[in-house]
A and B are shown apart, each in its own frame.
Chain A
């Protein structure tokens, strides 16, 4: 089912991770992604795993939900791993058949890439799971603010993201409705080759597209009725303040980074 996609979904739960300042959380996630790419040994992967699992536990998000976030990425992960296994040259050959060679470096690289992608997806999904879209876009807006001096429309970017995130579930629901309606009239989305299936989707995409324009028009009017006039002079329900939880998470993040970097430098 389309609506199973948890992309960009937010789970309103009361947890410490939810309470971290969104700006800090976005920066931490970026840091985490860099650190994940530093990992290349049992110890460092162990550390990343320990860190990630602790964050999931603290966030009170169910593990099944987190695993589900990997599902749409599974294909990419497998392809990357396969490419790495078969197309990495190395000296230590584990197995060969005619021109196909599997080297030790290849296998190591494949495992490395797969693990990194998994942690990457888990980390970034956790960001959206634990941060409400408004907080997320608020955080992005404020982080981008310094760049608005050089002409970056930080408020507009944030507003577009807010609306996109708000409408993802609505549009998925609508797609499913249209597909069901077409199926009940005998449309077939599952059989045939790729071109045939893509063609079958046209009668779904056209009404979806047209409806989206109507929605956009109505939404724009509704926003005007609610006195929307751009980012200038706008205030916020939530004031972002650097609190005790942020300090605590910063310390933990620093410790994690220092450990990762030292292990990396020492080659442990």
Chain B
């Protein structure tokens, strides 16, 4: 479980006053949740993410991972192996030239025994469906495959939480789909807590809970349906809503009386069908 209490963070400015990037954040995330984090550029999402595995430590306030504070330096490696982190550019996360050797990197660092590393590597590659590529050289893979290898490299630490900072931003549509499928699979089958930072609203809809950050503060924290209802407010802070939600919003504006919490194409079709049949 993640508990964030009164978290504030300042970046040291070269001159003048330090810049406040996170402003009194309070948040609780239970085991097995799938949370999307939204916010426009520079709102502090990545800074927040880096606090969860103690890459950054709070200027003020606390973060507890299963009851252990991230400010406790003695528990640093424990926390980092519990909270995995995946970044945007898969090329800059892969350390070794061969897939399985890269996946082995984290357990090697943790001093896991060789037989156990073997098992973890095989399991991790299986979880992201990359077993057949285990002896491939990593730079020959597609973007989506590379990102799945990066995810496997994290899974090999056996984390209970994975934080993903825009993992699909550099991928083509096929790669995006592969990675999203993998993320959902990890959440539903392995019960790994997922925190997905994204600019893609169709991905955010897949989460069970959406947290919107604006200028370092939590603005909304609710289910996708309740979040994307607020089309005007989201637009004001520079965020989009899913395309179908936008369509439904425009239809409502023009007097078509359909529901205001439509997130998927199916829901939208059903609503319009009902509306047309009624009228």
Contacts and interface: CB of A to CB of B under 8 A. Distances in A.
A227 B77 contact: yes
Contact of A237 (B80, B92, B117, B137): B117
B274 interface: no
Contacts of B236: none
A222 B87 contact: yes
Size band of the interface chain B makes with A:
35 or more
B87 A133 contact: no
A163 B102 CA distance: 11
A236 B53 contact: no
Interface stretch (A62-70, A165-173, A253-261): A165-173
Interface stretch (B31-39, B107-115, B242-250): B107-115
B87 A228 contact: no
A225 B109 contact: no
Contacts of B50: 221
Given A12-B135, A165-B97, A227-B109, A170 B87 contact: no
B91 A226 contact: no
Given A225-B53, A227-B80, A218 B157 contact: no
B229 interface: no
A166 B105 CA distance: 13
A229 B109 contact: yes
Contacts of A235: 107-108, 111-114, 117
Contacts of B214: none
Contact of A132 (B53, B101, B108): B101
A218 B114 contact: no
A8 to B, nearest CB: 9
Given A170-B139, A227-B157, A134 B114 contact: no
A224 B153 CA distance: 13
B108 A234 contact: yes
A43 interface: no
Given A237-B100, A238-B114, A218 B92 contact: yes
B96 A133 contact: yes
B157 A133 contact: no
Contact of A219 (B55, B93, B97): B93
A28 interface: no
Residue among A234, A237, A239 with max Cβ neighbours from chain B (10 Å): A237
Contacts of A166: 94-97, 138-139
Contacts of A228: 105, 109
B81 A227 contact: yes
Contact of A225 (B55, B101, B113): B55
B194 to A, nearest CB: 16
Interface in B118-157: 118, 121, 135-139, 150, 153-154, 157
Interface of B: 50, 53, 55, 77, 80-81, 84-85, 87, 89, 91-98, 100-101, 104-114, 117-118, 121, 135-139, 150, 153-154, 157
Interface of A: 10, 12, 132-134, 162-163, 165-166, 169-170, 173, 215, 218-219, 221-229, 233-239
